[in-house]
Chain A
Amino acid sequence: MIQIRNLTKYYGKGESRFKALDDVSVCIKDGEFIVILGASGSGKSTFLNVISGLETMDSGSVSYDEKRLEKMNEKELTRFRRDNTAYIFQQYYLLPHLTVEKNIKMGADLDHNRDFFPAMEAVGLADKRKKFPSELSGGEQQRVAIARALAKNPKVLFLDEPTGALDENTGRLVLDYIIKLQAKQSFTMIMVTHNANIAETADRIIRMNSGKIVGITENTEKKTAYEIGW
């Protein structure tokens, strides 16, 4: 379980200092699929970065069971990320000089996972394992990023606008992959998006505005990636 209490984060100094996160509290259960929904500048990405240990907080606490992020130093945070989390970004961030399989191996090695071929197969890229990222389409690159994240068998998967750079067809395909894999492997999934339609696929929707949570909705009518509007 992830317990977030009174999380506050500031950016800038002096007169330009502003509150990016304002006393945010929420509890996320294991195996849950959460969507953080909000407009640009609402603080959703900052929230994701702080609770995933990529950024520090100014006050408040983030607990993963007994582990407290705010008490960890940089080395401990790195170990925490290695053992617990994986990320998928809007811009993929694949390593350009490595082939598909070597990019996936980056995630797999951290879990001593020598058999990462299933992760490659799961995203339908087994036949493109020798290609370089520049030889793939945007959707294929994002699927490599998904396989890289999943090959590490994370307990929590963080996604920052994973379909933001994709067209509708590819976006639906990628989203469908992610949702099915989450349902199959039961890891906790926290996704940031500004697209209200995508939020309909989640178990719970957290709405943010001006650094605050303005609403949490249980989604009783979960839809698939092909049932939502785009």
Chain B
Amino acid sequence: MIVSVKDSLKLFGISIMTCCAVTVCNLFLNYYLDLSAIAALIDNPAAQMFYDAQLMTAKVVCAVSGGCLAATTVVMLFFYIKHYIDSHSKEIGILKALGYSDFKIAKDFFVFGLSVLIGCLAGYLLSFMIMPGFYAKQNADGYLPDMAIRIHGILFVLLVLLPSLLFAFISVGYSLLKLNQPCVNLLKGIVKSKGKNRDIKNKNSFVAEMRCSVLRSRKTLVFFIVFSSFCFSAMIQMSTSMKDLASEMMGLMIFLIGVVLAFTTLYIAVISVIRSNQKNIIMMRVFGYESTDCKRAVLDGYRPAAYIGFVIGSVYQYALLRIMVDIVFAGVEGVPEYKFDFPVCFITLCAFIIVYEGIMFAYGQSMKRISLKQIMSD
């Protein structure tokens, strides 16, 4: 068996991502279903308006956060599978050479669904732990009649069982696609470069050329860097901006999810960048390039992507809250005016610079510890 349960458990990034997604979705969908059940009990216009806004909020939050997190999980899963096949190409090549069919090898990747199941189950249970407090905060002003928390079996099927199965099948399908290459390529670990044969610019240093090449060959990682910066920027700014628009609990929840997602994706992206460039880094150091050159060639190219992600996150959170205030809560009285919070944006940017540059510095230092002997023992 080429993929074991242990390998699946290493996909903690996917488990964290799905845990966050299911926590938010189950919290709001359960609330949505429980709210729908008391529709007949709403007896005055003010309560009706509040009720409608609550229903709309639940739908929007589920669609935005659930959809966004699910899409990211799929990309992350693809990335993991590709990385797994690349790093185990020799073993897979041997199996293919021995006569194992692509499907026979690919079906082992079904076990990757386990990481999704673990994340979904954890998220499902977590959402029920915070649900009583969430319900109470949502109806703190007492507009709505008392509402009991009910467990909806359909949500367990939709948010836990179906995603786990779906992701398991996606894993098999995608690995089947990636395994469809000549056996000899897998055995020799041949990397087919898809880059264009661009003309060399003599004025550019090798480090600059290398930086461009690393970026072009690892587009998925660029996505992760943009996404992690986006999460950091959007979620942290949103959590502070929401203190006037929603409960503190909502703000804290969004803040925590943002921080967890930002660190998880950033960690995975940086680790992958270094691991996938390990041999290149070693070769550069063998030839006499210093660790700072290796860092500039391998990590520094992602900096613009990180700051672009930050800007997109700032715009996104502003647009989302603007829509919430102008459209969702349009008829609700007492909703405070919402403006872009520049001081919060500045503080978040400072925090982001410290965190991002700190992580990059730490990994730059870790490059020094890569043993040159590895290349000789390969």
Contacts and interface: CB of A to CB of B under 8 A. Distances in A.
B205 A109 contact: yes
Contacts of A96: 191, 193
Contact of A82 (B207, B213, B289, B368): B289
A110 B190 contact: no
Interface string B196-229: 0110101001110110011011000000000000
Contacts of B193: 96-97, 132, 134
Interface string A58-102: 000000000000000011001111110111010101011111011
Interface centre among B192, B198, B288, B290, by most chain A C-beta atoms within 10 angstroms, is: B288
A79 B288 contact: yes
A132 B193 CA distance: 7
A180 B193 CA distance: 33
Given A54-B372, A75-B290, A97 B200 contact: no
Contacts of B216: 97
Interface string B354-375: 0000000000000010001101
A98 B202 CA distance: 15
A211 interface: no
A49 interface: yes
B290 A97 contact: no
Contact of A55 (B200, B205, B206, B372): B372
B283 A102 contact: no
A81 B287 CA distance: 6
B284 interface: yes
Contact of A97 (B195, B368, B375, B376): B195
A110 B288 contact: yes
A134 B205 CA distance: 23
A102 B280 contact: no
Contacts, number: 91
**Secondary structure call for the B interface:** helix
Contacts of A54: 286, 372-373, 376
Given A49-B373, A96-B191, A101-B200, A81 B209 contact: no
A215 B285 CA distance: 33
B185 to A, nearest CB: 8
A88 to B, nearest CB: 11
B337 interface: no
Contacts of A132: 193, 195, 197
B279 interface: yes
A110 B378 contact: no
Nearest to B203: A114
B84 to A, nearest CB: 18
Contact of B283 (A45, A93, A105, A109): A93
Nearest to A75: B290
Interface in B149-205: 190-193, 195, 197-198, 200, 202, 205
Given A97-B217, A99-B197, A49 B285 contact: no
A106 B286 contact: no
Interface in A149-189: 152, 160
B18 to A, nearest CB: 32
Contacts of B290: 75, 78-79, 82
Contact of A105 (B197, B206, B285): B206
A107 interface: yes
A83 B206 contact: no
B210 A95 contact: yes
A80 B290 CA distance: 11
Interface of A: 45, 49, 54-55, 74-75, 78-83, 85-87, 89, 91, 93, 95-99, 101-102, 105-110, 114, 130-134, 152, 160
9 contacts: A49-B373, A78-B291, A79-B288, A82-B290, A89-B376, A105-B206, A132-B195, A132-B197, A134-B191
Given A97-B193, A133-B191, A134-B191, 13 more contacts: A45-B376, A49-B373, A54-B373, A78-B285, A83-B288, A89-B375, A102-B209, A102-B210, A105-B209, A106-B210, A110-B288, A114-B202, A132-B197
